[in-house]
Structure 1
Amino acid sequence: MSTNDSIVKFTSADFAALPSRFRARLVNSLSGFKSANLIGTTAPSGILNLAMVSSVVHLGASPALVGMVMRPRVNGMAPRDTLVNIENTGVYTINHVSAAMLPAAHDASANFSSETCEFEATGLTPFWPDKSTFTAPSVAESPLQIGLKLVEIVPFKANGTEFVIGEIVWVRFAEQALKGDGNVAIEDLGSLAISGLDGYHSTSLLDRFSYAEPAQTSTPLPKQGTAGEKVVDIRQFRESVSNKD
């Protein structure tokens, strides 16, 4: 930002005075690009549910935990079917959104009634890798699908939102996106990013860098990520796991 740029400034007092929809778009834009995900759940009645969520974050690799923020379900807000379904069934899926899934994926953010199946309403396709062991549906069109079991739900006193923590049970994506050092090149899968409430963006990889160390300048890694990293041949790994079983 140069000194010649025209600058706009908002204060907390301004936020309180702004029209609600304008304020929501403004504040949602400030955190930058976020991942675009559809959350798949099943109600106890059997109705399938989809919800757009852009607050998914990595929490840890051992155990493999993922968190997401869910909006308040009190104070006159719309029912949070996704949250209720997760509480009742203990399982759910996170599904990356690709360009081919628009605008159907965005339509899943509408406030449908609890009796409506969002898959049918949006035209997206439910998919179960193994329905006998995992009842929450994933999205067949999604380039990366994650099945999770609920670990805990943490309420935030500040605004009534709730933080859902889940442990990864399974993950599915095209093998060509998996690099030898474990990195998943989500740009190869076509996963989109979200800005604000309604902007969808494609991505491209600029660079990967070596593990950062104090007093050392990080060096670029090959896109395959093999320089100085432990490489895993996924087929040999599968064979070794099968032999142990």
Structure 2
Amino acid sequence: MHFFDHKDLQSLENIYKINLINSCSGFKSANLLGSISADGITNVAVFSSVTHLGSNPPTLGFILRPTTVPRDTYKNIKETGVFTINHIWEDIIEDAHHTSAKYANTISEFEMTNLEPEFKGNTKAPFVKNAPVQMSMKFIEEVYIPSNDVILVVAQIEELYIKDELLQEDGLINLSKGNVVTINGLDTYAIPKFKKQLTYQRPKKIK
């Protein structure tokens, strides 16, 4: 096996180190965050850091990199208090990835890709049309993490849309049926397949 200690990691060539550290944590969620500015300009951007924080209340979080450069998603969320989370599926991988390109805040990524905005429910933020799972989110709080100069954005699920064929009787969303993708590192996409659903585990009796 390859071995790196902390000194090795710090001395690696920058791009190699970025690829290595971004992939060592394992497969990550692949989502498009939809938002809209106070002036009505839509924005959609790929994020690989969305994670479950709690079920009651239903909250998710995502990591925002340093705001030393313009972050339109963050700006829009702070202006409006809302955004959407949309699972990326196989058919839109290239368009979804292209939303990471740096456009001026007067240009919507929806206009530069084949992704289509969809407005519904009680949120003014755009969903990504045909996404197998869509969520409208309400900003709750942000937590600054000084060690890496990043922000954890915490938000509550206000509305949840799931394609019928994905939702199981027990409430599990079977993402494999929607060809939902995952991200390995920064720019590599994979499509995981359903393998097995196991029961809630209890301790074994000691003999």
Task: Give TM class, smaller chain.
Answer: over 0.9
Compute the RMSD of aligned alpha carbons.
1.2
Counterparts of 2:85 and 2:6 in 1: how far apart (Å)? 34
Any gaps of 5 or more consecutive residues in structure 2?
none
1:193 aligned partner, one-letter code: T
Give the letter for the 1:58 counterpart.
H
Match of 1:37 among 18, 22, 31: 31
Deviation, structure 1 residue 123: 2.1
Query: Residue 147 of structure 1 contacts residue 169 of structure 1 at CA under 8 Å; is this kept in 2?
Result: yes
Q: Partner of 2:43: helix, strand, or coil?
A: strand
- What letter is aligned with 2:16? F
Q: What letter is aligned with 2:173?
A: V
Q: CA deviation at 1:15?
A: 2.3
1:182, distance to aligned residue in structure 2 (A): 0.8
Is 1:211 paired with 2:200?
A: yes
**Amino acid in structure 1 at the alignment position of 2:35:** T
- Matching residue within 10, 14, 17 for 1:16: 10
Distance 2:131 2:163 in 1: 11
Deviation at 1:96, TM superposition (A): 0.4
Which residue is 2:175 aligned to? 186
Partner of 1:54: 48
Q: Deviations over 1:61-102 (max 9, x none)?
A: 11111111111112xxx3111111111100000110011012
Q: Distance in 2 between matches of 1:89 and 1:152?
A: 13
Runs of 4+ in 1 over 6 A off after TM superposition: none
Which has a greater percent of strand? Answer: 2
TM-score calculated relative to the size of structure 2:
0.95
Specify which structure has the bigger relative contact order, considering alpha-carbon pairs within 8 angstroms and separated by 6 or more residues: 2
Alignment of 1:10-159 (within 5 A): 10-74=4-68, 78-130=69-121, 133-159=122-148
Matched, 1:164 2:153: yes
Contact 1:124 1:141 in 2 (8 A): no
Deviations 1:104-141 (A, max 9, x none): 000011122212101111221000113xx311101003
Structure 1: gaps (5+ residues): 1-6, 217-245
Letter in 1 for 2:126: P
* 1:25-46: CA deviation from partner (whole Å, max 9, x where unpaired): 1100101101100110001121
Secondary structure of 1:29's aligned partner: helix
Q: For residue 44 of structure 2, what is the amino acid of its counterpart? A: L
Following TM superposition, by how much is the alpha carbon of 1:165 offset from its aligned partner in structure 2, in angstroms? Answer: 0.7
Paired amino acid for 1:27: I
Alignment of 1:216-235 (within 5 A): none
Structure 1 residue 14, shift from structure 2 partner: 2.2
The alignment-based identity, stated in percent, is 36
* DSSP 3-state at the match of 1:101: helix
Amino acid at match of 1:12: H
Residue 174 of structure 1 is matched in structure 2 by: 163
